[in-house]
Amino acid sequence: MRAPRAAVAVLLGSALACGSGSGPTAPESPAGPVPIQGRIGDLEFEALLLQPSWDRLVGRMTLINPTASPVALRFPDNCVVLMRLYGLFDNRLVADAHSKRCLPLPVELVLDPGGSRTFETNVTFFFVLGNEIPEGRYHVTLYLRPEGSQEVEIAVGRPRLVRPDDAP
Residues in CB range of 100: below 8 A, 6 or more apart: none
Q: List per-residue pLDDT tens for the chain, 168 residues long.
A: 444 433 443 334 333 333 333 333 344 444 567 789 999 888 999 999 998 887 789 999 999 999 999 999 999 999 999 999 999 888 999 888 776 678 889 999 999 999 999 999 988 877 776 767 778 888 999 999 999 888 999 999 998 888 766 534
Tally the residues of the chain. Answer: 168
Greatest Cα pair distance in the chain: 61
How many CB atoms are closer than 10 A to CB 95?
A: 19
- pTM equals 0.76
pLDDT at position 148 is 85
Record: fold of 5-161? Immunoglobulin-like (2.60.40)
For residue 131, what pLDDT is reported?
A: 64
CA distance 123 to 125: 7
- CB neighbours (10 Å) of residue 70? 16
